[in-house]
Amino acid sequence: MKLKKIIDYVIESFSKSKNEILELNGIRAIAIILVMFHHSFLAYKFTNLLSIKADNYLLKFFFKILENGRIGVDIFFVLSGFLIGGQLLKEIKTTGTLNFKKFYFKRILRIFPAYYFALILVTIFFIEKISIKEIISHLFYLQNYWLNIYEITWSLAVEEQFYIFLPFLLFIFRKNFKNANCFCFAIFGLLIILPFYFRLLIFKNLHNIYDTQYISLKIFGAFHTRFDQLFIGVFIAFLYLNYKNLLINKYKIFYFLQFFLFIIFCFLIYYSGMNGSFYKIVLQFSLIGLVVGFFILSMLLTKTFFNKILSNNFFYFIAKISYPMYLYHYFSIWSIHKEDISLTNNEFLNFFIYLTAIFALSVLFALLSWLFIEYPFLKIKQKKCKFEC
């Protein structure tokens, strides 16, 4: 009986809801895989990467994906903006207002438990000393501006700051968003252009365009230089919510647009980077955000083989545990060393074994977190909101 209850619990936790857009789960899954493989690649430290890349063009592109897999975070930002912004815009459209208590209650139960548990594990097992200032920085999601002991959490800080800012902004202009008037386009235009302007100001004052550490701190990790991608996601949700019937009549355009955007995205991955040019320091964030955003829109308006690929069960599974995978995949990287699993004389094959081990252990950590931390809180959220929200 106990085993049956466990199996039923696991199946229930991965059950698909009626309103779920499966293609978006596929995009989320690809985003976390890109990020995890990117960090694994950096940790592996190839000794003869140039000779491996010289073998053929497919390998070159493969390693470019690994080098620039941080683009997965850009995908997360656009996706978060679309999903969270879409929920709030829909609420404004149907009720004319926003339930702040409901919104923040749901966000807290979704984000906080796994986040704070991960931080506790980091401080116990992977960090020798931690100051009060560092604790405060992470408790209040300030690590993208202040002190950061767990590097990857900067993006969670950006999203949390966005969740604080977004509902108030939409509430202030709720009449405009309810009626979907022209003023909404001006608001979105300003919010998407502002971070570009902030990045441009920093770029103009850069003494060294190859100073990765400074660029990472001032541009890559700061909310005011990155919220354009989040608001691109909100803008796409606004278009879909208010102009779906108009846009769906143009499905042939979006059919071809989807393939075009995919090709553009491949180029964006290949030429992405963190320093050395105006494009990499200023422009790429805007382009990546727009390409990902309109790719999402095209997937909602038309059906191609991309929809089928992104809707498969493997991607659905990975998407469900994507948040804990992001939180815990560094634990796998810190626990597995390439020297311990170098089983052959071929470095590329050894790297593939290493990547597989990192992926498997990360899935295990994430699955345990999902079943014993996140899903129980998700059930509380569902019950509370059903009767109170």
The pLDDT of residue 112: 96
Q: What's the pLDDT score for residue 1?
A: 56
CA separation for the pair 263, 257 (Å, rounded): 10
User: To which residue do tokens 């278009």 refer?
Assistant: 239
Q: Identify the CA nearest to 106 among candidates 84, 133, 86.
A: 84
**How far, in Å, CA of 15 to CA of 249, rounded?**
33
Which residues have CB under 8 Å from 378's CB, separation 6+?
Answer: 109, 110
Instruction: Supply φ then ψ for residue 270, to 5 degrees.
Output: -60, -40
**What is the reported pLDDT for 317?**
96
Q: What is the Cα–Cα distance from 166 to 87, expressed in whole angstroms?
A: 12
pLDDT of residue 54: 60
Cα–Cα nearest to 30, from 298, 311, 387: 311
Spans of the chain below 70 pLDDT: 1, 49-55, 384-389
The Cα–Cα gap between 338 and 340 comes to 5
Could you state, in order of their start, the residue ranges of all structural domains in the chain? 21-69+303-389, 71-301
Indicate if the alpha-carbon torsion angle 358, 115, 102, 142 is positive or negative: negative
Residues 282/220, Cβ–Cβ less than 8 Å: no
State residue 148's pLDDT score: 94
- Whether 52 and 59 have beta carbons less than 8 Å apart is answered as yes
For residue 313, the model assigns a pLDDT of: 94
CA distance readout (Å), 69 to 32, 53, 122? 9, 17, 23
246-274 exposure pattern, b = at least 16 Cβ within 10 A, e = fewer: ebeeeeeebeebbeebeebbeebbeebbb
CA angle (117, 159, 189) in 5-degree steps: 175
pLDDT for residue 180 = 86
340 class by beta-carbon count within 10 Å (0-12 exposed, 13-18 middle, 19+ buried): exposed
Neighbours of 118 (CB within 10 A): 23
